[in-house]
């Protein structure tokens, strides 16, 4: 019991310290900063501002209601993470828990307090959300893109940060090249990420949308969609006199996986042919070269 009382007293002390407007803690060098960083305290919900860098744009109301009921019965098991910003607090991660707590009628919520600049806050919010299972593929792709563009990470560095294969990151980001109508279809679960990956191979946005409507109307599977895409591309890209045995398609798929880039392979009846590797940035070209040299 004594231990519990000490924890509560510590929490109240920290709360008072954090609300001290005359001695605001803005950096690790400020007075009493060592007492704040790394501590968990109860914060008033109305003193927490949401994260402007939040990558999640869809919150399922039914799932929030379920979480709210859990919070009513068990409380908030995992603290949210906030940063001190001026005299207030800004959420870094845990917006679902924050919303569910508000729905449950709670006045306070356990929060892990830390100091973070805008870039750190963005990176932490993006990385934490990427690890969750309820982001749709487009949101994940956008999160990867923001980490690369705004945090200035390479895909290899990003792979290490989020614990995902580079090819996985590439596949999600490629979805962002689809027509916005198709991206919305993925977000609303009319088609899957697998359908989207197949449609990326169609360069014309108009043709993409045409095939997308066919997929939705007929309820085509991913395999059926891949076949539809191949049949759509064949008249445009494959001469009638070309020789395309099964091993050609297999080779193209293996090279695509190896280089994390679109690869096309063509051969004639004598087995002579050519392969083309498409790259979209200097970084991707260097990655392909490293693969060829056995350095990646």
pLDDT in tens, 24-36: 555 555 555 555 5
Q: Please check whether residue 147 is in contact with residue 153, taking contact to mean a CB–CB distance below 8 angstroms.
A: yes
Once rounded to an integer, what is the mean pLDDT over residues 264-284?
76
Q: Please check whether residue 56 is in contact with residue 127, taking contact to mean a CB–CB distance below 8 angstroms.
A: no
Residue 106 lies in a domain: yes
CA distance 179 to 205: 6
CATH of the domain at 22: 3.90.1530.30
Query: For the segment 14-25, what is each residue's pLDDT rounded down to a tens digit?
Result: 555 555 554 455
Q: Are residues 206 and 291 in the same domain?
A: no
Distances in Å between the Cα of 162 and the Cα atoms of 138, 140, 144, 159 are 17, 11, 9, 6
Residues 6+ apart with CB under 8 A from 216: 185, 190, 191
Q: Which of 101, 117, 133 is a domain's end point?
A: 117
For residue 45, what is the DSSP state?
G
Q: Are residues 107 and 61 in the same domain?
A: yes
Query: For the segment 191-205, what is each residue's pLDDT rounded down to a tens digit?
Result: 999 999 999 989 888
CA distance 118 to 91: 12
What was the pLDDT predicted at 8?
A: 37
Residue 106: domain span: 2-117
Count of structural domains within the chain: 3
Return the active site residues: 95
What was the pLDDT predicted at 30?
A: 57
What was the pLDDT predicted at 2?
A: 38
Q: How many helices (H) and strands (E) does the chain have?
A: 14, 7
What was the pLDDT predicted at 225?
A: 93
């Amino acid at each position: 019991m004594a231990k519990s009382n000490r924890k509560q007293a510590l929490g109240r002390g920290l709360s008072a310290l954090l609300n001290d407007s005359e001695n605001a803690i803005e950096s690790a060098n400020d007075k009493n900063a060592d007492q704040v960083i790394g501590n968990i305290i109860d914060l008033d919900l109305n003193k927490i501002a949401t994260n402007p860098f939040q990558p999640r744009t869809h919150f399922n109301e039914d799932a929030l209601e379920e979480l709210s009921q859990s919070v009513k019965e068990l409380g908030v098991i995992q603290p949210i993470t906030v940063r001190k910003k001026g005299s207030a607090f800004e959420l870094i991660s845990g917006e679902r828990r924050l919303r569910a707590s508000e729905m449950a009628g709670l006045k306070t919520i356990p929060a892990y307090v830390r100091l973070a600049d805008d870039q750190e806050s963005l990176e932490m919010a993006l990385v934490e959300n990427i690890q969750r299972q309820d982001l749709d593929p487009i949101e994940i792709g956008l999160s990867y893109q923001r980490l690369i563009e705004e945090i200035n990470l390479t895909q290899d560095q990003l792979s290490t940060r989020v614990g995902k294969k580079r090819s996985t990151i590439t596949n999600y980001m490629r979805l962002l090249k689809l027509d916005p109508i198709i991206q919305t279809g993925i977000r609303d679960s009319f088609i899957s990420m697998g359908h989207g990956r197949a449609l990326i191979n169609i360069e014309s946005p108009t043709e993409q949308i045409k095939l997308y409507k066919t997929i939705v109307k007929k309820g085509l599977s991913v395999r059926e969609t891949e076949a539809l895409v191949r049949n759509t591309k064949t008249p445009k890209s494959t001469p009638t006199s070309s020789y395309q045995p099964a091993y050609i398609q297999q080779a193209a798929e293996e090279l695509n996986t190896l280089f994390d880039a679109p690869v096309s392979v063509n051969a004639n009846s004598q087995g002579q042919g050519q392969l083309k590797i498409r790259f979209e940035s200097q970084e991707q070209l260097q990655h392909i070269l490293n693969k060829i040299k056995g350095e990646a």
